[in-house]
């Protein structure tokens, strides 16, 4: 009998070591090494799908000049939001990893998309749920598809045998943490199992030109569970996020070899599944009867898509010795920077005030162009004076109190005009190149925060 082979793996990055180490030399994390049993036999994974591989054996080395440039025929799904996030549809032979919290709707979203692909043979592999559970979810979605096939199995060798029989055009794995390879002795979900199963699926996707979706779990700090190497092995990483108490869900691109990494898809959770929201600006703006202080509208960009979002601020007298700074959907350090600018350059005393900031709709924004709207919402709450309902903002604020130019200003102005706004305040340096004759919206170009304050208040 061959000796049982064991190794130690870093549970954070997947680094392999023959002995236990206190500190990982790859990611410098402490106490992350776990012992796992590796293969007992010397056999390598067989190529179960060799018979219908689309990449025949060819010379290893080719000249770049000899490679013909061909247009990639993407698989267009019935979901416009998913197509946008993937960069224009599903690329043949790509492997896509989707992460998200439990119960956020990952399985529902991809079951729904698979059922909508009527002319595509899809295999949905579930290692977590029974056939009856998936059938109940499919009945709730009310979509019929005769080309949709289901397999409840966790062993990769059995999965590849079934794939060889069916020859599907699309494979969805739910989830990668439940799969188990017969060549690794450790339990499902361990570092070595995740890495080996992902490597087998990657070889299958590339050799057969079949797209594969891997649904994955996430850890409590929000990153995708398993070693970081899993994200390096796949072509695209998508994050499905949102507060369970809100009806809206956001699909973000974290990595994409075939398109932009700053795209965003928005869905509404309904009883019949996930409904794509094609005009998110309308849902992110609160419909209110009366004007209240502390609310400002920002024109932001997510990828190539302009969005109008509502910034809500509340400034109150501090009861305790140390003032509170609470944010939702915005960077806390960025808020402290903007408060320091108002204190130093504008003479506003926020040092003894509690400041609360919220971006309506549960969306998280990292675009610095919303700085001007944040400052105007803070000043509106500070003075307790509502801002005009027909005005919106697009500008980054510097440490000297100047309003800096932002990119893609034409798209932002067009989105504000489309939603009926009459005025937009932008940086003085964004004014060049704008054709004011074609615009129905009034563009106010200002240079400093104090000029904006004097204009509004």
d(CA 249, CA 265): 8
Is residue 111 pLDDT above 90, yes or no? yes
How many Cα neighbours within 13 Å face the side chain of 154?
15
| Structural domain containing residue 169 | 78-278
How many Cα neighbours within 13 Å face the side chain of 218?
19
216 is in an annotated binding site: no
105 is in an annotated binding site: yes
* Mean pLDDT of the region 14-39: 84
Whether residue 94 is found in the same domain as residue 228: yes
* Mean pLDDT of the region 253-257: 90
Q: Is residue 303 situated within a structural domain?
A: yes
Whether residue 433 is found in the same domain as residue 302: yes
d(CA 96, CA 86): 9
d(CA 254, CA 223): 11
Q: Is residue 333 situated within a structural domain?
A: yes
158 is in an annotated binding site: no
**Per-residue H/E/C for 129-168:** CCHHHHHHHHHHHCCCCCCEEEEECCEHHHHHHHHHHHCC
Q: Which CATH number does the domain housing residue 400 bear?
A: 3.30.230.10
What pLDDT band is residue 248 in, cutting at 50, 70 and 90? Answer: confident
The last residue of one of the domains, among 278, 294, 312, is 278
Whether residue 309 is found in the same domain as residue 267: no
Encode pLDDT of 364-375 as tens digits: 888 899 999 999
Split into its structural domains, the chain has a count of 3
In this predicted structure, what is the pLDDT of residue 188? 84
Q: Is residue 377 situated within a structural domain?
A: yes
In this predicted structure, what is the pLDDT of residue 52? 61
Q: Is residue 71 situated within a structural domain?
A: no
Q: Is residue 359 situated within a structural domain?
A: yes
Backbone angles phi, psi at 248, to 5 degrees: -100, 140
Which of 20 and 435 is assigned the larger pLDDT? 20
Angle at 44 between CA 40 and CA 46, to 5 degrees: 130
375 is in an annotated binding site: no
Angle at 137 between CA 100 and CA 76, to 5 degrees: 65
Whether residue 152 is found in the same domain as residue 221: yes
Tokens 């990055």 correspond to what residue?
13
Q: How many CB atoms sit inside 10 A of residue 114's CB?
A: 24
For the chain, percent of residues with pLDDT exceeding 70: 91
Is residue 62 pLDDT above 70, yes or no? yes
Residue 290, classified by CB atoms within 10 Å of its CB into exposed (0-12), middle (13-18) or buried (19+), is exposed
Is residue 211 pLDDT above 70, yes or no? yes
The last residue of one of the domains, among 247, 278, 309, is 278
Whether residue 25 is found in the same domain as residue 112: no
Residues 281/297, Cβ–Cβ less than 8 Å: no
Whether residue 245 is found in the same domain as residue 310: no
The residue among 254, 274, 286 whose CA lies nearest residue 362 is 286
**Dihedral of the alpha carbons of 325, 331, 337, 341, in degrees to the nearest 10:** -90
The answer for residues whose C-beta is within 8 angstroms of residue 204's C-beta and 6 or more apart is 49, 160, 163, 171, 210, 212
423 is in an annotated binding site: no
The lowest-confidence range among 213-222, 248-257, 299-308 is 213-222
104 is in an annotated binding site: yes
Average pLDDT score, the chain? 86
d(CA 86, CA 359): 26
Integer CA distances (angstroms), 202 to 74, 209, 230, 324, 360, in order: 18, 10, 11, 49, 40
Is residue 185 pLDDT above 90, yes or no? no
In this predicted structure, what is the pLDDT of residue 397? 95
Whether residue 272 is found in the same domain as residue 155: yes
The lowest-confidence range among 219-233, 360-374, 384-398 is 219-233
What pLDDT band is residue 4 in, cutting at 50, 70 and 90? Answer: low
Radius of gyration of the chain (CA): 26
* Mean pLDDT of the region 129-157: 91
d(CA 30, CA 268): 41
Residues 240/109, Cβ–Cβ less than 8 Å: yes
In this predicted structure, what is the pLDDT of residue 35? 84
For the chain, percent of residues with pLDDT exceeding 90: 45
**Per-residue H/E/C for 379-404:** HHHHHCCCCCCCEEECCEECCCCEEE
Q: How many CB atoms sit inside 10 A of residue 187's CB?
A: 11
Whether residue 145 is found in the same domain as residue 14: no
Is residue 43 pLDDT above 60, yes or no? no
Is residue 289 pLDDT above 70, yes or no? no
Q: Is residue 44 situated within a structural domain?
A: no
Q: Is residue 15 situated within a structural domain?
A: yes
78 is in an annotated binding site: no
431 is in an annotated binding site: no
Q: Is residue 55 situated within a structural domain?
A: no
In this predicted structure, what is the pLDDT of residue 55? 59
Is residue 3 pLDDT above 80, yes or no? no
What pLDDT band is residue 346 in, cutting at 50, 70 and 90? Answer: confident
Whether residue 369 is found in the same domain as residue 332: yes
What pLDDT band is residue 331 in, cutting at 50, 70 and 90? Answer: very high
Q: Which CATH number does the domain housing residue 138 bear?
A: 3.40.50.300
Is residue 327 pLDDT above 90, yes or no? yes
In this predicted structure, what is the pLDDT of residue 374? 96
What pLDDT band is residue 376 in, cutting at 50, 70 and 90? Answer: very high
Is residue 288 pLDDT above 80, yes or no? no
The last residue of one of the domains, among 259, 278, 297, is 278
In this predicted structure, what is the pLDDT of residue 237? 93
Whether residue 390 is found in the same domain as residue 294: yes
Is residue 249 pLDDT above 90, yes or no? no
Whether residue 176 is found in the same domain as residue 256: yes
Integer CA distances (angstroms), 345 to 229, 294, 426, 438, 448, in order: 47, 20, 19, 36, 10
Residues 404/267, Cβ–Cβ less than 8 Å: no
Tokens 């020859």 correspond to what residue?
167
Whether residue 89 is found in the same domain as residue 139: yes
């Amino acid at each position: 009998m061959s000796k049982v082979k064991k190794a130690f793996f870093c549970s954070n990055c997947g680094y392999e070591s023959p002995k236990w180490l206190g500190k990982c030399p790859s990611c410098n994390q402490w106490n992350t090494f776990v012992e796992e049993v590796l293969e007992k036999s010397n056999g390598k994974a067989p190529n179960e799908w060799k018979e219908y591989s689309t990449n025949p054996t060819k010379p290893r080395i080719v000249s770049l000049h000899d490679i013909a440039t061909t247009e990639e025929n993407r698989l267009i799904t019935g979901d416009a939001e998913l197509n946008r996030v993937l960069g224009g549809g599903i690329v043949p032979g790509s492997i896509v990893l989707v992460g998200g919290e439990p119960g956020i709707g990952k399985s529902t979203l991809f079951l729904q998309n698979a059922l909508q692909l009527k002319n595509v043979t899809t295999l949905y592999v579930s290692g977590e749920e029974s056939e009856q559970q998936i059938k109940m979810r499919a009945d709730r979605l009310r979509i019929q598809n005769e080309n949709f096939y289901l397999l409840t199995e966790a062993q990769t060798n059995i999965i590849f045998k079934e794939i060889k029989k069916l020859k599907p055009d699309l494979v969805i794995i739910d989830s990668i943490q439940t799969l188990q390879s017969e060549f690794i002795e450790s339990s499902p979900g361990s570092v070595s199992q995740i890495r080996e199963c992902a490597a087998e699926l990657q070889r299958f996707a590339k050799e057969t030109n079949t797209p594969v979706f891997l649904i994955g779990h996430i850890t409590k700090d929000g990153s995708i569970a398993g070693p970081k190497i899993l994200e390096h092995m796949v072509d695209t990483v998508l994050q499905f996020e949102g507060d369970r108490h809100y009806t809206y869900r956001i699909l973000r691109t974290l990595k994409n070899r075939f398109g932009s990494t700053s795209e965003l898809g928005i869905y509404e959770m309904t009883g019949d599944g996930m409904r794509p929201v094609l005009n998110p600006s309308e849902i992110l703006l609160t419909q209110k009867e009366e004007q209240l202080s502390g609310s400002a509208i920002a024109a932001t960009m997510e990828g190539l898509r302009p969005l109008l979002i509502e910034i809500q601020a509340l400034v109150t007298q501090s009861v305790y010795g140390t003032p509170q700074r609470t944010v939702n959907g915005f960077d806390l350090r960025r808020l402290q920077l903007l408060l320091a600018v108002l204190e130093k350059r504008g003479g506003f005393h926020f040092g003894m005030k509690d400041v609360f900031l919220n971006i309506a709709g549960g969306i998280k924004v990292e675009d610095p162009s919303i700085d001007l709207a944040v400052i105007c919402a803070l000043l509106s709450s500070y003075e307790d004076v509502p801002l005009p309902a027909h005005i919106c903002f697009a500008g980054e604020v510097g440490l000297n109190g100047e309003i800096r130019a932002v990119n893609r200003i034409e798209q932002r102005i067009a989105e504000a005009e489309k939603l009926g706004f009459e005025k937009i305040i932008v940086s003085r340096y964004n004014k060049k190149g704008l054709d004011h004759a074609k615009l129905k919206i009034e563009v106010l170009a200002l240079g400093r925060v104090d000029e904006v304050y004097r204009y509004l208040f």
